[in-house]
Amino acid sequence: MKKLVLLSGGLDSLVMLSDLCQKGGNGILCLNIDYAQKHLQRERVAAQRIAHYYRLEIDYLSICPLYSNVDEANPYVWGRNTLLLTYASACAKKYGAEEVYFGASKSDYAGFPDCRQGFFVAMNNLNSILEG
């Protein structure tokens, strides 16, 4: 079964990808998304290195900037994970992947509504609706 992994280059996506690879990393494609994040170049280089380490293919997608008015004290960007997972789901369909993986940290649970279980259940329900 093919899997698409959103690989930001950060620790959360690295740990999630590592776990997938240890369970038998066949059929994994990595996707790195540029949404004009502050540390885009560092994240992209890290994602490339991680994908190379695990001998996985990585693709890149650029979308509209989401960080034009972000308050450094409160880095939450409304709808970011919704957009990232929607784009990832569309790319998964394009590549024939049946599952999408996204690394979210438990420490983000309190401050980021789109890192909570209910959000992921809702995204899975939306994908099920789109599948018909």
Q: Summarize pLDDT for 15-46 with one digit per residue, the tens.
A: 999 999 999 878 999 999 998 887 889 999 99
Instruction: Indicate the Cα dihedral angle 49, 7, 62, 99, nearest 10°.
Output: 140
- Judge contact between 95 and 2, C-beta under 8 A: yes
Residue bearing the bigger pLDDT, 66 or 31:
31
Residue 108 to residue 29: CA distance in whole angstroms:
25
pTM: 0.85
Which residue would you say has higher pLDDT here, 47 or 40? 47
What are 67-82's pLDDT values in tens digits? 666 566 666 677 788 8
CA-to-CA distance for 54 and 111, rounded, in angstroms? 31
pLDDT: which is higher, 70 or 8: 8
Question: Alpha-carbon distance 28 to 22, whole Å?
Answer: 12
